[in-house]
Amino acid sequence: MRLWSIHPKYLDSKGLIALWREALLAQKVLSGKTKGYRNHPQLERFKSRKDPLKTIGFYLGEIRKESKNRGYNFDSKKVLKPCFHTNKINITSGQIEFEFRHLQKKLRQRDLIQHKSLLKLKKIKAHSLFKIVVGKKADWER
């Protein structure tokens, strides 16, 4: 399960669609409707929130916004608890840099144009659920 902390605008179409599916799976896990993935480390940041389903609802909503910007039509009815505002979760600058490098490796193979366009980027934005704080890569991301 990969729930990117970087802004979804950096993802290619395959990556954006995969993120939507992974986040829907995360929502299913958080709602107790699966047997697997319940202890997946990337879910800890959602589980630690007062209302994990609202938090993943916000996360999904932001992915859907990006999909609409690209002319896709991700089904908003799949979001169990839509949420339009939530407190941000801290994410370290090291984690953001790690994810961005990981994405660049994927893009080099899948979408060279997107890869090259991101080479010029000076500041990496996080998904709007997250607030970047100075620090190393997260322990849960191995």
* Structure-token pair, residue 58: 């916000």
Instruction: Indicate if the pLDDT at residue 139 is higher than 90.
Output: no
- What is the model's pLDDT at position 140? 53
- Residue-wise pLDDT for 63-111, tens only, equals 999 999 999 999 999 999 999 999 999 999 999 999 999 999 999 999 9
Instruction: Enter the pTM of the model.
Output: 0.91
- What is the model's pLDDT at position 91? 94
- What is the model's pLDDT at position 1? 64
Mean pLDDT (the chain, rounded): 93
Contact 53, 27 (CB under 8 A): yes
Residue for token digits 């990337």? 42
- What is the model's pLDDT at position 142? 44
- What is the model's pLDDT at position 138? 67
Distances (CA, A) of 91 to 36, 75, 130: 25, 28, 6
What 8-state DSSP symbol labels residue 7?
Answer: -
- Rounded to an integer, the average pLDDT of 47-62 is 96
Helix (H, G, I), strand (E, B) or coil at 83: coil
